[in-house]
């Protein structure tokens, strides 16, 4: 039995891995020649003929006919008497060709060929997967959740290739079970231990950008350009867009009629709050838009330090800063400026004291916590009740009582 079920094995790989005919021929011939080299030290005088359609193969050996007493290498030469058993017309110096039965190589050689064949096919498939996904970095893929672990999720694509979504690349409120359909962006492709490792992400700004491209035709067609995206996954994101056509409103196009376009993106991102703003080369206008919905009274730009001092009415400060300082943080990342928010000081507040003046009595991280909720002066802190301060800053009650005591003593003096 010449094929020894080798082609049955190979056909299974071909069906599963989609290997083309030319590559299949090369892999098979390389596998056979590696065995020939082990058996005869060289494969140069062998012809390997493969018939894929019939699932069969032939191996022919070419040797030179020599006198019976002159033979030195039975693999490269054959005696005249032996050659004439096949054809009496054979003469010294002629080339003699005969078929070599692979079954005569022995069981160990057959097993070695099977292993070699399987190894070559697997290596080729791994290389194909690596190349395929290396070219798809930054693209959205849809897969099926196959296994959920504590630190990562195993996903299968449409060709059953394994993809990894680490916990660190998942939105905090993501919850998936086996069999769920999942969308993510290809963020990284590596080779580890000769196997491709495709890492996905749902927290990358690129994921949000690709979702906009899918849901907003004007972005896909190039009429609207996304200039920058910053986000805290699952919480809030800011997207700066610009239109190259004056007739197209970039913000309106991205949001859609009654939010129809952006709602799908928000749902995909687990109700992430997305602010879409018009990009501007006017940095003051850009910062003002980035801090929306807060209304800015004035802005002072420090180009040398890339800082912007923003002045607002007292009721706008907390809105500009946002919950946990998220709004002002993202606005700063979006514009590239460090933004500091200040309350407009009224005449009766001129005797107020900046919190930085208490640095010798109050730890810096406590002052930062107060600034994060829009309190940059002693009186602005005293205007809030202890309960509200505790709720908004997460400071301990004893700390808040200490702060109020210090600030009150400052004005009593």
CATH of the domain at 85: 3.30.1480
> What does the alpha-carbon distance between residue 6 and residue 168 come to, in Å, rounded to a whole number?
44
Of 131, 161, 185, the residue that ends a domain is 131
> What does the alpha-carbon distance between residue 365 and residue 401 come to, in Å, rounded to a whole number?
17
Planar angle of CA 249, 294, 366, nearest 5 degrees: 140
Planar angle of CA 180, 183, 188, nearest 5 degrees: 120
At 2, the pLDDT band (50, 70, 90 cuts) reads: very low
- Asked if the structure places residue 215 within a domain, the reply is no
Mean pLDDT is lowest, of 119-128, 272-281, 392-401, for 119-128
Task: Kindly report, residue by residue over 214-261, the tens digit of the pLDDT.
Answer: 999 999 999 999 999 999 999 999 999 999 888 899 999 999 998 999
> What does the alpha-carbon distance between residue 240 and residue 404 come to, in Å, rounded to a whole number?
41
- Going by C-alpha positions, the residue among 207, 212, 237 that lies closest to residue 224 is 212
- Asked if the structure places residue 145 within a domain, the reply is yes
Could you tell me how many helices (H) and strands (E) the chain has, helices first? 15, 15
Residues 95 and 169 in one domain: no
- What confidence score (pLDDT) does residue 413 get? 55
Mean pLDDT is lowest, of 86-95, 178-187, 230-239, 367-376, for 367-376
- Asked if the structure places residue 355 within a domain, the reply is yes
Residues 88 and 174 in one domain: no
Residues 29 and 121 in one domain: yes
CATH number (domain holding residue 147)? 2.40.50.140
Residues 103 and 155 in one domain: no
- Find the helix or strand (DSSP H, E) in which 409 lies: helix 397-412
- Find the helix or strand (DSSP H, E) in which 274 lies: strand 273-278
pLDDT at 202 over 50: yes
- Asked if the structure places residue 289 within a domain, the reply is no
What secondary structure does DSSP assign to 79-106, as a single string? EHHHHHTT-TT--TT-EEEEE--GGGG-
> What does the alpha-carbon distance between residue 214 and residue 205 come to, in Å, rounded to a whole number?
15
Top-confidence range, 28-37, 223-232, 289-298: 223-232
Burial of 15 (0-12, 13-18, 19+ CB in 10 A): exposed
Task: Kindly report, residue by residue over 100-138, the tens digit of the pLDDT.
Answer: 887 777 778 778 777 777 787 788 888 889 999 999 999
Residues 125 and 189 in one domain: no
Average pLDDT, whole number, for the chain? 87
Supply 111's token pair: 């097993």
Of 131, 164, 193, the residue that ends a domain is 131
Taking 3-state DSSP, the helix, strand and coil percentages for the chain, each rounded to the nearest 5, stand at 45, 25, 30
Q: Where are the beta strands (DSSP E) in 313-396?
A: 338-343
- What confidence score (pLDDT) does residue 62 get? 94
- Tokens 């208490």 belong to 358
pLDDT at 409 over 70: yes
Over residues 321-330, the mean pLDDT reads: 89
Residues 32 and 108 in one domain: yes
> What does the alpha-carbon distance between residue 113 and residue 231 come to, in Å, rounded to a whole number?
54
Of 182, 203, 224, the residue that ends a domain is 203
Residues 104 and 151 in one domain: no
Supply 351's token pair: 């005797």
- What confidence score (pLDDT) does residue 246 get? 85
Phi and psi of 125, rounded to 5°?
Answer: -65, -40
- What confidence score (pLDDT) does residue 17 get? 53
- Asked if the structure places residue 234 within a domain, the reply is no
Total domains in the chain come to 3
> What does the alpha-carbon distance between residue 381 and residue 354 come to, in Å, rounded to a whole number?
11
- Asked if the structure places residue 232 within a domain, the reply is no
Supply 263's token pair: 């709602």
At 6, the pLDDT band (50, 70, 90 cuts) reads: low
Residues 74 and 189 in one domain: no
Residues 24 and 49 in one domain: yes
- Going by C-alpha positions, the residue among 268, 139, 161 that lies closest to residue 206 is 139
Supply 64's token pair: 């030179």
Residues 146 and 97 in one domain: no
Residues 76 and 179 in one domain: no
Residues 126 and 149 in one domain: no
pLDDT at 15 over 60: no
- Asked if the structure places residue 106 within a domain, the reply is yes
- Asked if the structure places residue 327 within a domain, the reply is no
Residue span of the structural domain in which 400 resides:
347-412
Task: Kindly report, residue by residue over 294-319, the tens digit of the pLDDT.
Answer: 999 999 999 999 999 999 887 788 88
């Amino acid at each position: 039995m010449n094929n020894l079920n080798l082609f049955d094995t190979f056909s299974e790989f071909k069906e599963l891995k989609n290997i083309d005919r030319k590559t299949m021929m090369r892999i098979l011939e390389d596998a056979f020649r590696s065995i020939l080299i082990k058996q005869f030290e060289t494969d140069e005088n062998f012809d390997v003929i493969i018939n894929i359609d019939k699932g069969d193969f032939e191996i022919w050996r070419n040797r030179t006919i020599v006198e019976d007493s002159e033979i030195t290498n039975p693999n490269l030469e054959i005696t005249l008497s032996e050659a004439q058993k096949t054809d009496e017309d054979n003469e010294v110096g002629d080339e003699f060709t005969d078929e070599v039965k692979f079954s005569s190589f022995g069981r160990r050689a057959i097993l070695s060929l099977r292993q070699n064949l399987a190894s070559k096919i697997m290596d080729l498939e791994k290389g194909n997967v690596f190349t395929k996904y290396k070219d798809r970095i930054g693209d959205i893929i849809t897969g099926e959740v196959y296994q959920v672990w504590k630190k990562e999720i195993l996903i299968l694509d449409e060709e059953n290739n394994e993809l990894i979504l680490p916990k660190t690349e998942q939105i905090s409120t993501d919850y998936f079970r086996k069999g769920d359909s999942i969308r993510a962006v290809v963020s990284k492709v590596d080779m580890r231990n000769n196997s491709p490792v495709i890492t996905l992400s749902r927290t990358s700004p690129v994921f949000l950008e690709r979702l906009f491209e899918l849901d907003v035709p004007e972005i896909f067609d190039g009429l609207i350009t996304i200039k920058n995206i910053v986000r805290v996954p699952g919480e809030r994101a800011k997207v700066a867009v610009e239109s190259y056509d004056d007739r197209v409103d970039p913000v309106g196009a991205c949001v859609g009629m009654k939010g129809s376009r952006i709602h799908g993106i928000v749902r995909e991102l687990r109700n992430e709050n997305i602010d879409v703003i018009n990009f501007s080369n006017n940095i003051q206008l850009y910062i003002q838009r980035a801090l929306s919905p807060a209304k800015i009274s004035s802005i002072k730009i420090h180009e040398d330090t890339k800082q912007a001092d923003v002045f607002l009415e007292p009721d706008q400060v907390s809105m500009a800063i946002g919950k946990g300082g998220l709004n002002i943080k993202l606005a700063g990342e979006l514009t590239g400026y460090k933004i500091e928010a200040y309350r407009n000081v009224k005449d009766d507040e001129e005797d107020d004291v900046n919190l930085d003046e208490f640095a010798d009595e109050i730890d810096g991280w406590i002052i930062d916590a107060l600034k994060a909720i829009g309190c940059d002066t002693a009186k602005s802190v005293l205007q809030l009740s202890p309960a509200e301060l505790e709720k908004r800053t997460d400071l301990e009650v004893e700390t808040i009582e200490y702060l109020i005591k210090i600030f009150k003593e400052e004005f009593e003096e």
